Structure 1
Amino acid sequence: MGEFDEDGNAIAGGPQPYIDRQEMPTRAGLVCPDIRGKAAYHDINARQAEFEGLAGAIRLDIVFSEVMRVREVRPATYLGAGHVQTLAERVKADDIELLLVDAALSPIQQRNLERETGAKVLDRTALILEIFGERAATREGVLQVELAHLNYQKSRLVRSWTHLERQRGSGGMGFMGGPGETQIESDRRQIGDRIALLEDRLEKVKRTRTQQRRQRTRAQLPVIALVGYTNAGKSSIFNRLTGAGVFAENLLFATLDTTVRKIELPHGREVMLSDTVGFVADLPHDLVAAFRATLEEVTDADIILHVRDIANPDHAAQAQDVLAVLEELGVSSETTPIIELWNKIDLLEAGNLALATAAPAGKVIAAMPVSAHTGQGLDALLLEIEKTLGEQGRTYQVHVPHAAGSDIGWLHSHVEVISREEPTEQGSDFVVRVDPRHRSEFLERFNGRISAPEL
């Protein structure tokens, strides 16, 4: 994984990518196991299409893609003996270099499949890590992805990889061999040292982000966080609302780094809009952990906008995956208001039942049809955000004596001042709206001077 110096320039450091970056794309085969009796809410065809999209996000020549019916998972190879033999024959006949398996393989299953088929084998987790490794551009993103790579890789040292202090490229973790089994323990120690170093650096990043959030809190700007399944259109909506020009293409994980911009609501109130990394089914826990500092923008949000690709036949299952990641982060509709955005309505044909039959994923404030492409529904969204923020705050009338000038400053920096009456000999009366995060401090500070609470 590449690193950056103090000026942000790329420098050498970190291990090789899984997939060899060579002139010709790697010849790959895709396997999507369909396990009998497994409770899965994703349609197998939609799952296969998504896996093909993941593989297409990096430089691969996809030779074949197959769904394999699996009666039961084999501890040694995950797939049954017949499937393994079929794959071995296909690998040899089509000169396949890489097999991608849409499942979470154990280190033993991965090693046995490699031995039986003669191809390098990567599971779903490794493929997602590879994509993140290629997409990461900022110093923080690179550190986060490398940490996730190392945590995933440390249990899979079946042979040594090139020493961490020797650089042969950039990206994720390498599979291009090494000096031999005798170096495994040494490599494990190096992995442990590297993980400790990355965690220390990310802790510094976390402190910087915390300071930035404190500055926004002092400015009394509510945070609205966009979340959603990858490629649902979060960054496109973000660009429509802010004009920020964030990279937004029809790619899985097109955006990895959080971007925050100020926008103005219809009646003049300013808020901060945050765009975050997209989620996906079976998002690796190591990635969630590594990106926790980035995703704290979501945990601290005043409102969450859950973007759903309503034109995708699998949108209901995708929504459940998003909620699962939010739950892992400790976020739910009980803690934070959620507004669902049913995006890409411009792709629906007239009379399409997708909107009529769609249902919110859990408890939401509202479910709003929108189009990032045409802008349809976004004006109504801003009004809904304004309404929701207004309902979160409580309105009070408070008296401030002339001698308590600091209290006037506190009001303007911590609450929304709706109106101020003409000063009298005793002082000034204000009508203010107080958000939940400042309510206890407000009530304590102005105790005995609140004349008409909760107007």
Structure 2
Amino acid sequence: MEQVNNRAVVVGVNLNDRADFAYSMEELRNLADACNIEVVGELTQKMPKINGPHYLGSGKIEELSALVEGVDASTVIFNDELSPSQLRNLESALQKKVMDRTLLILDIFSERAQTREAQLQVEVAKLQYMLPRLTGLRESLGRQGGGSGMKNKGTGETKLELDRRRIEERISALQAELEKLVSRRQVQRKQRQKTGVPVICLVGYTNAGKSSLMNAILSRYMPDSSKQVLAKDMLFATLETSVRSIELPDNKSFLLTDTVGFVSQLPHHLIKAFRSTLEEVAEADLLVQVVDYANLEYERLIEVTNDTLRELGAGHIPMIYAYNKTDLTGERYPRTDEDKVYLSVKENQGLEELVALVRDRIFQDYVQVEVVIPFSEGRLIAFFNANGNVQATSYEENGTRLTMECKRVDYEKYQHLFVEPQPAEQ
């Protein structure tokens, strides 16, 4: 779609005194800002239910029309997803470009998508959104361009059918291309699972600091890595799933995945389109929910994230919370409290505490042992030095004594070769 006009009025209906209504309107302004739209006015209405034909009551429509003219806005943005008939009726009543929250988010995703897969996913979501709304959207776009100039109703209907067929064909072609990319990623994921390396997923609200946290962990534990991910202070900076291997000093390693951020009322078209990308989340061993602790609404944002995770089939996966931006709150940090770590990525404080908590949760199949390896099995010393954490080595007449932490399966696999093996202790 063409560049969005940059002066707008935002509109919302507060149904039955919703507790999060004020925040959702603030978020709508932030979404508009992310689309380079200047919000110059706001209109809200309390109602027990949405007015079917026009979203707002008739009196409010007149008030809105006057407000839009008064502030010289060219666009009106609604806080909920509009039905095709609501879109048409509002276009007709206001004679302005009408957008809803869904289209706004789709526009942001379009702008941010970098990889081929993300671009395909966004385009599919956008086309699926447009399909039932073609009439209203065409009127809107026509008015933006000075009128469509189509007087003949019959021609218009034929054009509509043609557009509809073209869009359906385009969706099918895009989905076929996406399938190939998805199956390739599933193969890569299966290969990763075979190695038995745990997968940790960073999840959370958009702009909570997930990518910044990933970069900070990479810098701390993989200083020679050139695989930093894009981190910007804006909504939906990350639309691609990035996977990085993190190797710890004691030879333990895990895969860290950065994911697309969530937002309240994330359009179902998008969740459907990005489901393949978000499958990484549903198959993780542990989720780290990154929380913008400096945001006064942080508890609500945790709720939205948890709801979205449940929708993705990832509600059962163990989770720990990284309360980021604690430096802006006056709270003490870095510190750990059960499944929460209070930290500041910006101040580089709390990373060790977070990684320690991650280690406790995912490396539970390790055992602390002391073994004597016969000199004839010297290869095992090299193996445990590479795959375990050897804390002490000494030489005795019948072999090499190692005090170490290693995987239980590795211990059990080779224990028949040790001199007088001791049972493994936790």
Shorter-normalised TM range = 0.7 to 0.9
Of the three residues 350, 367, 379, the one matched with 1:377 is: 350
**Alpha carbons of structure 1 residues 248 and 65: separation in structure 2 relative to 1, 3 Å:** farther
Q: Deviations over 1:339-392 (max 9, x none)?
A: 1111111111x3x6xx89xxx9xxx9611111111111111111111111122x
Letter in 2 for 1:378: L
Q: Name the aligned partner's letter for residue 70 of structure 1.
A: M
Is the deviation greater in 180-189 or in 140-149?
180-189
Matching residue of 1:135: 112
- Aligned positions of 1:333-352 closer than 5 A: 335-348=316-329, 350=330
Question: Whole-Å Cα distance in 2 between the matches of residues 105 and 454 of structure 1?
Answer: 61
Tell me, yes or no, if the aligned pair for 2:88 and 2:136 is still in contact at 8 Å: no
Specify which structure has the higher proportion of helix.
2
Distance 1:147 1:113 in 2: 25
CA contact (8 A) 1:394 1:433 kept: yes
Which of 217, 220, 231 pairs up with 2:193? Answer: 217
AA aligned to 1:99 is: V
Q: Distance in 2 between matches of 1:370 and 1:82?
A: 50
Q: How does 1:148-227 map to 2 (within 5 A)?
A: 148-158=125-135, 180-227=156-203
Cα deviation, residue 62, structure 1: 2.1
DSSP 3-state at the match of 2:133: coil
**Residue number in structure 2 paired with 1:263:** 246
Whole-Å separation in 1 of the counterparts to 2:38 and 2:293: 30
Maintained 8 Å contact 1:266/1:382: no
Question: Map of 1:42-441 to 2, 5 A cutoff?
Answer: 42=20, 44-158=21-135, 180-243=156-219, 244-332=227-315, 335-348=316-329, 350=330, 366-391=339-364, 393=365, 433=407
Cα separation, 2, equivalents of 1:156 and 1:365 = 49
Question: Which letter does structure 2 place at the counterpart of 1:21?
Answer: Q
> Which ranges in structure 1 are unaligned for 5 or more consecutive residues?
1-16, 163-167, 169-173, 398-404, 423-429
Q: Is the CA contact (8 Å cut-off) linking 1:41 and 1:317 kept in structure 2? A: no
- Deviations 1:286-341 (CA, angstroms, capped at 9, x unpaired): 11111111112211211110011111111111111111111111112xx3220111
Q: Are the aligned partners of 1:338 and 1:365 in contact in 2 as well (CA < 8 Å)?
A: no
Q: In terms of mean alpha carbon deviation, does 60-69 or 143-152 score higher?
A: 60-69
Q: Which amino acid aligns with 2:356?
A: L
Q: 2:3 aligns with which of 21, 34, 57?
A: 21
Q: Aligned in 2, Cα 1:431/1:236: closer, same or farther, shift over 3 Å? A: closer
In structure 1, C-alpha distance between the alignment counterparts of 2:355 and 2:136, rounded to whole Å: 55
Give deviations 1:372-425, integer Å, cap 9, x for gaps. Answer: 11111111111111111122x26599xxxxxxx9xx9xx99xx96678999xxx
Q: Could you tell me whether the CA contact under 8 Å between 2:285 and 2:317 is conserved in 1?
A: yes
Question: 2 CA distance for matches of 1:124 and 1:338?
Answer: 29
Structure with the bigger RCO (C-alpha within 8 Å, sep 6+) is 1
Deviations 1:103-123 (A, max 9, x none): 121111111111111111111
Query: Aligned AA for 2:6?
Result: T
CA contact (8 A) 1:223 1:271 kept: yes
Partner letter of residue 148 of structure 1?
A
Distance 1:431 1:229, change over 3 A: closer
Amino acid paired to 1:132 = F
| CA–CA separation in structure 2 for the residues paired with 1:213 and 1:224 | 13
Percent identical among aligned pairs is 36
**Secondary structure of 1:96's match?**
coil
After the TM superposition, which parts of structure 1 deviate over 6 Å for at least 4 consecutive aligned residues?
Answer: 418-422, 448-451
CA displacement at 1:232 relative to structure 2: 0.9
Cα distance, 1:36–1:307 mapped onto 2, change above 3 Å = same
Aligned mates of 1:95, 1:51 — CA distance in 2: 19
Q: Which residue in the other structure is 1:165 paired with?
A: none
Contact 1:280 1:321 in 2 (8 A): yes
SS of equivalent to 1:158: helix
* Higher Rg of the two aligned structures: 2
Native 8 Å contact 1:158 1:181 kept in 2: no
How many angstroms does 1:67 deviate by? 3.3
Cα separation, 2, equivalents of 1:176 and 1:245? 47
Structure 1 residues 368 and 108: alpha-carbon distance in aligned structure 2, compared to 1, 3 A threshold: same
Q: Is the CA contact 2:131–2:167 (under 8 Å) kept in the aligned structure 1?
A: yes
The alignment's TM-score, normalised by the length of structure 2, stands at: 0.80
The answer (yes or no) to whether the contact 2:251–2:389 under 8 Å persists in 1 is no
Structure 1 pair 126–421 and aligned structure 2 pair: CA distance change class (3 A): farther
CA distance in 1, matches of 2:312, 2:146: 32
CA contact (8 A) 2:250 2:389 kept: no
Aligned residue type for 2:115:
T
Using the size of structure 1 for normalisation, the TM-score is 0.75
**Distance in 2, Cα, partners of 1:36 & 1:214:** 47
Secondary structure of the structure 2 residue equivalent to 1:157: helix
Calculate the aligned-residue CA RMSD, in Å. 3.9
Q: Provide closer, same or farther for how the CA distance between residues 176 and 368 of structure 1 changes in structure 2, counting only shifts above 3 A.
A: farther
The count of corresponding residues between Structure 1 and Structure 2 is 393
Q: Identify unmatched segments of 5+ residues in structure 2.
A: 220-226, 370-376, 396-403
Asked if 2 retains the 8 angstrom alpha-carbon contact of 1:34 and 1:70, the reply is: yes
C-alpha distance in 1 between matches for 2:264 and 2:285: 25
1:97–1:215 distance in 2 versus 1, CA, 3 Å: same
